[in-house]
Amino acid sequence: MPEVSTGAPEVSRKRGAEPGPLLKHAPERKRACWGILTSQGSWADRSPLHEAASQGRLLALRTLLAQEDHANIVTIDHVTPLHEACLSGHVACVRALINAGANVNAASIDGVTPLYNCCASGSVGCTELLLQNGAHTHTSHTHFPSALHEACKRGNSQCVESLLSHGADPDYEVSHLGSPLYVSCEHGHTSCSKVLLLRGASVNEGRGGGSPLHAAVTQDSADQVSLLLDYGADVNLRDGNNQRPVELAPPGGKTQQLLLAFEGSPRSLCQLCRLQIRSLIGRSRLSLLPLLPLPSLLTHYLEHTEGAVFP
């Protein structure tokens, strides 16, 4: 029985190519999506296995694999059937391909991995399957696409959580993108920012001279600004144009009011103690907080989670 599509967003298998307009004829639409001629690009040499994986046709996929179709067959752009299944979020197809020996770390000519495609589609099930079967959370080349950054860009917080739970570095930096937290703030995804900060991401690590707070203010995201301030964001940092966050805030907006109010009153002793204790514990040991012989109220307080209310 074919799998039901997860409704994943249509994104190109080639990094940097945006989906084209919906055209009348299918071949023309394929050209627009891929940004290359069908006679030269990946659509020209997609195998039946690629098609079955992309469309979630599990029975056809298993039949082809049983007929000795190679699970790692690639297109001219080195796109594998596993890339296709992950991009469309078909968990059962991903499992079948992995069982047939598919390379979970296969990279296209643009460095896109199946894990990256999972984070693009927002499929937590596919993400977990890949990670449990040896998928690398980061590539060896920092200029290659980053699954964590892609999840943050698209607001797929569950994928972010999954990656971090399997050892991804919350401060992993890509030169042209900055930190994952910066990307999350830049695109207004508070849920991703919260996951990163709970896992110990540096609140002031951004891109170039700009901090995540600069990015959140530019988006006029009051929720993001409030979250960052609660985790110790420095309001006095200056970006590449020598501007502080408050100077970038839209006049009269909520973010400007938040920053002005914050600058007018110092952090409470409660906040300062929590920030200092978490810093001393260290990011790598924050997950061990529940193991400490502490009252649950203090554990929640140090974890920065709900349930800790102090005056």
pLDDT tens readout for residues 260-298:
999 888 788 888 898 888 888 888 888 888 888 889 888
Residues 1 and 122 placed together within one structural domain of the fold: yes
Domain boundary among 227, 242, 265: 265
- Tally of structural domains, the chain: 3
In this structure, are 7 and 72 located in the same domain? yes
Same domain assignment for residues 148 and 257: yes
Confidence at 306, pLDDT banded by 50, 70, 90: low
Instruction: Report the candidate in 70, 10, 75, 90 with the shortest Cα–Cα distance to residue 38.
Output: 75
Highest mean pLDDT among 16-25, 64-73, 123-132: 123-132
249 with 289, same domain: the answer is no
Task: Say whether 210 sits in a helix, a strand or coil.
Answer: strand
d(CA 15, CA 109): 9
Question: Do 287 and 261 share a domain, yes or no?
Answer: no
218: pLDDT confidence band, cut at 50, 70 and 90? very high
Which two three-digit tokens encode residue 225?
């600004």
State the pLDDT at residue 44.
Answer: 58
Helix or strand or coil: residue 172?
coil
198 shares a domain with 81: no
User: Which pLDDT score is estimated for 292?
Assistant: 86
The amino acid present at 22, given as its one-letter code, is L
Q: Percentage helix, strand, coil, to 5, in the chain?
A: 50, 0, 50
Does one domain contain both 124 and 25?
yes
Q: Are residues 287 and 222 in the same domain?
A: no
Residue 163 and residue 119 in contact, taking contact as beta carbons nearer than 8 Å: yes
Q: What is the pLDDT of residues 202-215, one digit of tens each?
A: 999 999 889 999 99
| Whether 77 and 195 share a structural domain | no
Contact residues for 187 (Cβ-Cβ < 8 A; gap 6+): 152, 153, 154, 155, 219
* Domain C-terminal end among 136, 152, 187: 136
Q: Which domain holds residue 107?
A: 1-136
- Residues 1, 117: one domain? yes
* Structure-block tokens of residue 176: 């042209």
Asked whether 235 and 214 are in contact (CB, 8 A), the reply is no
* Residue of 11, 56, 8 whose CA lies nearest to 33: 11
| pLDDT recorded at residue 8 | 45
Tell me: do 88 and 168 sit in the same domain.
Answer: no
CA 65 vs CA 43, 53, 70, 117: distances in Å:
21, 11, 7, 22
Maximum average pLDDT range among 1-15, 22-36, 171-185, 278-292: 171-185
Q: Which residue has the tokens 């991703």?
A: 192
Say which CATH number the domain at 101 has. 1.25.40.20
What's the pLDDT band for 164 if we cut at 50, 70, 90? very high
Q: How confident is the model at residue 131 (pLDDT cuts 50, 70, 90)?
A: very high
Q: What is this structure's pTM? A: 0.81
Report which residue type is found at 75: T
Q: Report the pLDDT value the prediction gives residue 26, as an integer from 0 to 100.
A: 38
The mean pLDDT of 39-62, rounded to a whole number, is: 82
- Tell me what percent of the residues of the chain surpass a pLDDT of 70: 84
Query: Residues with Cβ < 8 Å from 13, sequence gap 6 or more?
Result: 34, 42, 77, 79, 83, 84, 87, 108, 112, 117
Give the pLDDT band of residue 247 (cuts 50, 70, 90).
very high
d(CA 79, CA 99): 18
One-letter amino acid for residue 68 of the chain? E
Among 105, 136, 167, the domain-final residue is 136
Same domain, 2 and 19: yes
- pLDDT over 50 at 20, yes or no: no
CA distance 151 to 113: 13
